[in-house]
């Protein structure tokens, strides 16, 4: 089975409160996994654990072949996280924000115009300070930053929030592209309708536990017929994940826009 991430009995604490209370989850390479659940279910904490930002207090975790607690410094550059906040600098222009992220990811700044164009930023908006953008534009800019970083694992928390219909479609198209290129997308959302068309698989969370997150043994994207958890399966070519029969290998990202490859 080709897995980008695997959690078993994962427990994570915020202070003394268990925000993850024994979560089990498999994330296949090249799939769009939607995580649903009520407020406080632990969706955001799950994403932060997968990003290596929230250490586990017990349980097992492997993300892109790395232990997110022990190898957090190695894992984080391979992950793109869009949280509730956008992580932007208001005084920098749209282009400067993306350029900073690209340079901080050791990527060629040539990816910057392509990322901005892919997220629908024309020439005029590229010179606008991020602080002057609307909520939806800021969300798109944050997504452009993730795209410019070129991660292998996309972790998106309510990415559709604030986007109009046109840009929701644009985002869905982008996520299908990155999944087709072998990247995995884990998307936490309340918006069932918006994410239903996008999801390869849907899992639910409640009380810090993923209710249906583990794949049956031997089930991989190439062999499955039906989605696990009730989500629709996307048609289209299946890109092989970075590593078969085990966790993927981490390494410097060589991705162009919407492309990501793993290099050992």
Partner 1 sequence: MWRDAALVAGKDLRIEGRAKVAVNQVAPYALVVLLLFGFAFDQDKPLLVQAAPGLYWMAVLFSGLLAVQRSFSLESADAAMDALRLSRLEPAGVFLGKVAAVAAQLLLLEVLLALGVVVLFQSRLSGAALLAASAAVSTAGVAAAGVVYGALCTGLRARETLLPLLLAPVLAPVVLAATEAWRSALGLSRGDGWHWLALLGCFAAVYLAGGAVGFGALMEET
Q: How far is the CB of 188 from partner 1 (least distance, A)?
A: 15
Take residue 62 and report the two structure tokens written for it: 């492997």
For the sheet with 209-210, list strands across it: 79-82, 153-157, 184-188, 32-36, 201-206, 209-210
Distance in Å, CB of 125 to partner 1, minimum:
17
Smallest gap, in angstroms, from Cβ of residue 250 to partner 1? 12
Q: Which is nearer to partner 1, 129 or 256 (CB)?
A: 129
**In this complex, which beta carbon is closest to partner 1, that of residue 89 or of residue 166?**
89
Start-to-end Cα distance in the chain: 19
At its nearest, how many Å lie between partner 1 and the CB of residue 57?
15
Comparison of 97 and 204: residue with beta carbon closer to partner 1: 97
Q: Which are the contacts of 43, defined by CB distance < 8 A and separation ≥ 6?
A: 35, 36, 37, 157, 188, 205
**d(C-alpha 193, C-alpha 249), whole Å:** 34
- Binding residues (CB under 8 A) for partner 1: these are 51, 53, 73, 76-77, 79-81, 83-92, 96, 100-101, 103-106, 129, 145, 149
Between residues 45 and 86, which has the closer beta carbon with respect to partner 1? Answer: 86
Q: Name every residue whose Cβ is closer than 8 Å to that of residue 222 and which is 6 or more positions away in sequence.
A: 238
């Amino acid at each position: 089975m080709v897995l980008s991430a695997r959690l078993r009995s994962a427990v994570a604490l915020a202070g003394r409160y268990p925000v993850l209370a024994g979560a089990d989850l498999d994330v296949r390479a090249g799939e769009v996994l939607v995580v649903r659940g009520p407020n406080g279910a632990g969706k955001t904490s799950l994403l932060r654990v997968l990003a290596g930002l929230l250490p586990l207090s017990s349980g097992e975790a492997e993300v892109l072949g790395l232990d997110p607690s022990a190898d957090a410094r190695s894992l984080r550059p391979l992950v793109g996280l869009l949280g509730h906040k956008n992580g932007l600098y208001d005084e920098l222009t749209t282009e400067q924000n993306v350029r900073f992220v690209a340079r901080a990811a050791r990527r060629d700044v040539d990816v910057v115009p392509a990322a901005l164009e892919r997220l629908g930023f024309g020439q005029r908006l590229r010179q606008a300070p991020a602080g002057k953008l609307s909520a939806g534009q800021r969300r798109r800019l944050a997504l452009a930053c993730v795209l410019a970083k070129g991660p292998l694992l996309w972790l998106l928390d309510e990415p559709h929030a604030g986007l109009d219909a046109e840009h929701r479609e644009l985002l869905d198209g982008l996520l299908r592209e990155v999944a087709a290129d072998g990247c995995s997308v884990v998307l936490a959302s309340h918006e069932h309708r918006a994410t239903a068309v996008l999801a390869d698989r849907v899992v639910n969370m409640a009380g810090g536990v993923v209710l249906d997150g583990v794949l049956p043994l031997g089930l991989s994207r190439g062999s499955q017929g039906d989605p696990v958890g009730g989500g629709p399966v996307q048609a289209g070519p299946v890109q092989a994940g970075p590593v078969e029969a085990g966790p993927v290998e981490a390494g410097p990202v060589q991705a162009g826009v919407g492309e990501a490859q793993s290099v050992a």
